[in-house]
Homo-oligomer: A and B are copies of this chain.
């Protein structure tokens, strides 16, 4: 393959004409493929079938400690479920509050509580003129959507290969008391797949924010979601915070959405004792507590750390070939042309692709018109604004290998077309 940037106008036009012919072939196939959704595939869901099939009523009605899971009570979760999450997050049981099937909901509630009631006796954020959040980009659209809803100003923070650019974080958090928090997906980050380095975690723990009620919202969504035995490890932020007496700064979240069932899992938050007390004050008015039968169902299904580990390995067995396929297609078709960069994560749910600057939306449109749906361009940025119009979140988990293979062929072709068009517009003096 010849590099597009070395082609003259005639060569580019010939290349484009060739690519368009291929493109029409795909269009004629009337494909209907989707690489936009970070959803487990049906095979993954089947891995948890025994959690429903094999656990009977008498096991579920009462915990070993004698709690009737069917009735009211246990606002913050049954002890067994706290233990399960405590072992996943490696914190003491009493740092855990168990939630419903949505860790997003725990995050929303925490921000809502900060807005409405304030954190640990501080002024409610609602009563302040300005509230700002730091947002490492690209990041998770649902985090940004919460900020946007509450009118919290979002400031982009560069993501490096080690995690957020901590010079930027430090400079902004330590100088501006209106900066109240930061969204983090510290392990196999959404969408880049980056795991924060030990140095980054330590710098977070050492942070001295200007705001006393600054919070690191540590969304550890992919904490045990490795793709193979060769996996990343993440420092326990609470252990680091202990050294600097900064444990109140962190609220950690996780869930079994991508362990058992996204539609019927359980979630948890981990926090310092002061923060737990602060949350319970509101939570006790907010709900009667979450589904305890489903909590116990999960605890019986994962009755040992070994069982959970094996279960996640079964997920990996399904997912690894899909991630490999995407990366291989990009290596084969895009790498030689030098018209994009991408990540090759060791876990999580996404591959982050960056096209040449300005090509993102065109690639999205081309894919769409050939029957391949991608995540909206900009979704990975606050206010849906990708300043470089280039980041595309590839979600390889849901489609079958065959579908994914076809979808990636379409994707690579569309990247090529958009790239040639970009060079052509330069050559012919037009701006893109």
Chain A interface residues (CB < 8 Å from chain B): 37, 39-40, 42, 45, 48-49, 52-53, 56-57, 60-61, 68-74, 100-102, 104-105, 108, 112, 115-117, 126, 142, 145-146, 149-150, 257, 261-264, 282, 285-294
Closest residue of B by beta carbon distance from A288: B102
| A72 and B112 contact, CB distance less than 8 A | no
Contacts of A262 in B (CB 8 A): 70-72, 288
Q: Which of B52, B149, B150, B293 contacts A263 (CB 8 A)?
A: B293
| B289 and A263 contact, CB distance less than 8 A | yes
A109 to chain B, nearest CB (A): 8
Contacts of A100 in B (CB 8 A): 100-101, 287, 290-291
| B108 and A287 contact, CB distance less than 8 A | yes
| B53 and A57 contact, CB distance less than 8 A | yes
| A40 and B116 contact, CB distance less than 8 A | no
| Copy count, this protein chain | 2
Q: Given A52-B57, A116-B115, A264-B294, decide whether A288 and B70 contact each other with a Cβ distance below 8 A.
A: no
Contacts A/B (CB < 8 Å), 15 sampled: A37-B72, A45-B61, A48-B70, A49-B57, A68-B263, A69-B264, A70-B261, A72-B262, A73-B263, A100-B287, A101-B290, A102-B287, A108-B285, A116-B116, A149-B282
A308 to chain B, nearest CB (A): 18
| A45 and B71 contact, CB distance less than 8 A | yes
Contacts of A57 in B (CB 8 A): 49, 52-53
| B146 and A263 contact, CB distance less than 8 A | no
Closest residue of B by beta carbon distance from A50: B57
Query: In the assembly, what is the distance between CA of A71 and CA of B39, in Å?
Result: 7
User: Which residue, of A263, A282, A287, has the highest number of chain B Cβ atoms within 10 A?
Assistant: A263
| B126 and A116 contact, CB distance less than 8 A | yes
Given A39-B71, A108-B286, 15 more pairs with CB closer than 8 A: A40-B71, A45-B61, A52-B293, A53-B56, A53-B57, A70-B263, A71-B262, A72-B257, A72-B262, A100-B290, A102-B287, A105-B288, A261-B293, A263-B291, A264-B291
Contacts of A257 in B (CB 8 A): 72, 288
Query: In the assembly, what is the distance between CA of A142 and CA of B70, in Å?
Result: 20
Q: Given A60-B52, A116-B112, A116-B116, decide whether A263 and B285 contact each other with a Cβ distance below 8 A.
A: no
A416 to chain B, nearest CB (A): 32
Contacts of A60 in B (CB 8 A): 52
A289 to chain B, nearest CB (A): 7
Query: In the assembly, what is the distance between CA of A305 and CA of B368, in Å?
Result: 45
Query: In the assembly, what is the distance between CA of A261 and CA of B145, in Å?
Result: 34
Closest residue of B by beta carbon distance from A263: B292
| A291 and B288 contact, CB distance less than 8 A | no
Query: In the assembly, what is the distance between CA of A57 and CA of B51, in Å?
Result: 9
Contacts of A42 in B (CB 8 A): 68
Query: In the assembly, what is the distance between CA of A70 and CA of B149, in Å?
Result: 28
A219 to chain B, nearest CB (A): 13
| B293 and A291 contact, CB distance less than 8 A | no
| A287 and B40 contact, CB distance less than 8 A | no
The 7 closest A-B pairs by CB, nearest first: A264-B293, A53-B57, A105-B287, A70-B261, A263-B292, A52-B57, A72-B262
| B145 and A285 contact, CB distance less than 8 A | yes
User: Which residue, of A45, A61, A115, has the highest number of chain B Cβ atoms within 10 A?
Assistant: A61
Query: In the assembly, what is the distance between CA of A45 and CA of B39, in Å?
Result: 35
Closest residue of B by beta carbon distance from A266: B291
| B126 and A71 contact, CB distance less than 8 A | no
Contacts of A150 in B (CB 8 A): 116
Closest residue of B by beta carbon distance from A42: B68
Contacts of A285 in B (CB 8 A): 108, 142, 145-146, 149
| A70 and B264 contact, CB distance less than 8 A | yes
Query: In the assembly, what is the distance between CA of A289 and CA of B291, in Å?
Result: 14
Query: In the assembly, what is the distance between CA of A145 and CA of B284, in Å?
Result: 9
Contacts of A40 in B (CB 8 A): 71
A55 to chain B, nearest CB (A): 9
Query: In the assembly, what is the distance between CA of A285 and CA of B148, in Å?
Result: 10
A302 to chain B, nearest CB (A): 17
User: Which residue, of A42, A115, A117, A287, has the highest number of chain B Cβ atoms within 10 A?
Assistant: A287
